[in-house]
Structure 1
Amino acid sequence: MSFAFHRPESLDAAIAFAREQGDAARFLAGGTDLLIQINRGRIAPKHLISLAGLGLDTIGETPTGYVIGAMATHEAVVNHPGFQTTLTALTQASAVIGGRQVRNIATVGGNIVNASPAADLVPVLLALDATVELRGAAGTRSMPLDRFLVERGRTDRRPEEILTAVGFDKPPAESATWFLKAGRRKAMEISVICVAAHLVRGGKARIAIGAAASRTVRMPDAEALVEKQGAAAFREAGRIAADAVAPIDDVRASARYRKLLVATLVERALLACADRIAGGEA
């Protein structure tokens, strides 16, 4: 493993250098996945461009929403005061990403750009209708996270672009979020299936699932049923979601077992949201 390490003084300098080096360069956020890929010989960049110290590590609040900088760590998400009630799914998902040492280094932006179908935080962000912001040589652009994700390991990011932030609206009153993860052990484990739900009393329902397809996916048909029929449709929503996914067989679980998990976890996540709304905990 041999590469040159660069620490630019500005985003523009980072972008310019990445554009100059092309495929030979990679941006380095937390590095918890990138360095593993390099060690295993899956990629061999000649240049690593650090994004540390460029002002991308903040979690900001506006009157209508939140903006999480791409370099914000998962531990920062776990401890953020604004995410402890209605947005508890964010803390639940970030809390199961590796151990504390990993969470203090691994970043939100890295979790998104890596485009792993099993990324734990991404289903929550999808359930919140999150939007990503990217900055490149042509300027800044934004798009829905659902459109940014293409398939396993692929996003709509251009080679010299930096994902700078992800944002979402504050949930309305009487709403709740919930995240559930199934793995072969309780900690430091890649998801067999993970599910996020966002429910608004008498209104919007959002369901997103990880590790069940070639990318993290939303479940629009299941969402529409819940919006129409409410709590009476939670179990059927789980069945619809299970029918819609296309998981794989691997050493951690069979495709059939993953479908059963989807049905169960979708129902449980929706029930948890409904219970929190009813109990005034949202």
Structure 2
Amino acid sequence: MTAMAFDYSEPQSIAEGIALAGRFGPAASFIAGGTDLVIQMRRKSRQPSHVISLQALDELKQIERDGDIVTLGALLTHKQLEDYFAAEPAMLGLIESARVIGGHQVRNAGTIGGNICNASPAADLLPQLLTLGAEVELAGPAGRRWLKLSDFLLGPGRTARAQDELLTRVRFAMPGKGGATAFIKAGRRRAMEISLISVAVRIAGAGASDCGQVAIAIGAAAPVAFRASEAEALLHGQPRDAALLKRAGEVAAAQATPLSDVRASADYRRRLIAALVPRAVMACLERLAP
């Protein structure tokens, strides 16, 4: 295998990192955990001539909490995400999505910012973050700005991040009283496998017998992970009825635009959505505190 040749910088501040990205332009790439970029470089799908490491930027490894609002630094690893929310039953869905990203080595190195910026339609974190209404912060030469995650994701491998901007933080509101989350991934294996389909659900404000406010997001079924808005509206405030849940799965499947490939046909992926949406919603309802 031909050795990869590139220059390497390790900025000591966010401002320095942004300046380096502006100086070297499209030839430069940021690197965090490297679990995506290194593979892409080996496959020659990306060949930056300058790699800018973010590992010295401790500011991007912090967690802030203000009531139910959580702000996560982009350099937090998937394992750190699991550990932080381990004592939060309402966040079990996010833990479930982090646990199926690669193996232990990947989860200890890969970062949440990298998973988001890679913008894979099958990225495991994205559906659950979408159900939580997550926003991302971008820092660039003109300052900092917040974007809804749904507006940040533009297509496979495409985001609203400018070349000289750095994704710095992710924030969202945790489910409050009467709230829970759940995540289900369909693949040939539980982990170290690209999702055939993934389904994330967040419930808020549910009563003793109603569904409350339901957010449903689907991964690996469109150019970007997306909210199944029509299925959400169908369930909003409705009784916990099995037939209604089944109908919501069918509606979510109809909203999807999956591709056929060597791993599964588009029809099979739609069938998975129809089956997994009711299962994920029910799992979420069963997790609600009595």
* CA deviation vs aligned residue, 1:232-255 (integer Å, no higher than 9, x gap): 221111100001101111111111
Equivalent in the alignment of 1:236: 247
Give, in angstroms, the shift of residue 274 of structure 1: 1.0
SS in 1 for 2:109: coil
CA-CA distance at 1:59 after TM superposition: 2.3
- CA deviation vs aligned residue, 1:124-177 (integer Å, no higher than 9, x gap): 000000111110000000011011111111010011000001100121201110
- The residue number in structure 2 matching 1:111 is 115
SS of 2:267's equivalent in the other structure is helix
- What CA RMSD, in Å, does the superposition of the two structures yield over aligned residues? 1.2
Distance 1:83 1:135, change over 3 A: farther
Q: Which amino acid aligns with 1:246?
A: T
User: Displacement, 1:18?
Assistant: 0.4
- After superposing the two structures, state which structure 1 stretch, 78-87 or 122-131, moved more: 78-87
Q: After TM superposition, list the pairs within 5 Å mapping 1:87-106 onto structure 2.
A: 87-106=91-110
Give, in angstroms, the shift of residue 82 of structure 1. 5.9
User: 1:74 is matched with which residue?
Assistant: 78
Count of matched residue positions in the alignment of Structure 1 and Structure 2: 279
Seen in structure 2, the aligned counterparts of structure 1 residues 130 and 230 have a Cα distance that, compared at 3 Å, is farther
Q: Given the superposition, is the C-alpha separation of residues 72 and 127 from structure 1 closer, same or farther in structure 2, using an over 3 Å criterion?
A: same
Residue equivalent to 2:154: 150
1:133-148 → structure 2 map (5 Å cutoff): 133-148=137-152
Q: Which runs of 5+ in 1 are unaligned?
A: none
- Report which stretch shifted further, 11-20 or 223-232: 223-232
1:211/1:83 Cα in 2 relative to 1: closer, same or farther (>3 Å)?
A: farther
Alignment match, 1:227: 236
Amino acid at match of 1:221: E
Please name the residue that 1:52 is paired with. Answer: 55
Deviations 1:241-271 (A, max 9, x none): 0011011111111111100100111110100
What does residue range 174-213 of structure 1 map to in structure 2 within 5 Å? 174-200=178-204, 201-202=206-207, 203-213=212-222
CA distance in 2, matches of 1:15, 1:81: 31
**CA offset at residue 60 of structure 1?**
2.2
8 Å CA contact 2:25, 2:164 repeated in 1: yes
Task: Tell me which amino acid in the other structure corresponds to 1:248.
Answer: L
Please give the alpha-carbon distance, in whole angstroms, between the structure 2 residues aligned to 1:100 and 1:265: 26
1:41 partner amino acid: K
What is the aligned counterpart of 1:261 among 272, 277, 281? Answer: 272
Could you tell me which amino acid in structure 1 is paired with residue 35 of structure 2? T
Q: For residue 47 of structure 2, give the secondary structure of its aligned residue in structure 1.
A: coil
d(CA) in 1 for partners of 2:183, 2:224: 17
2:176 is paired with a residue whose SS is: coil
- TM-score (normalised: structure 2): 0.94
The unaligned stretches of length 5 or more in structure 2 are none
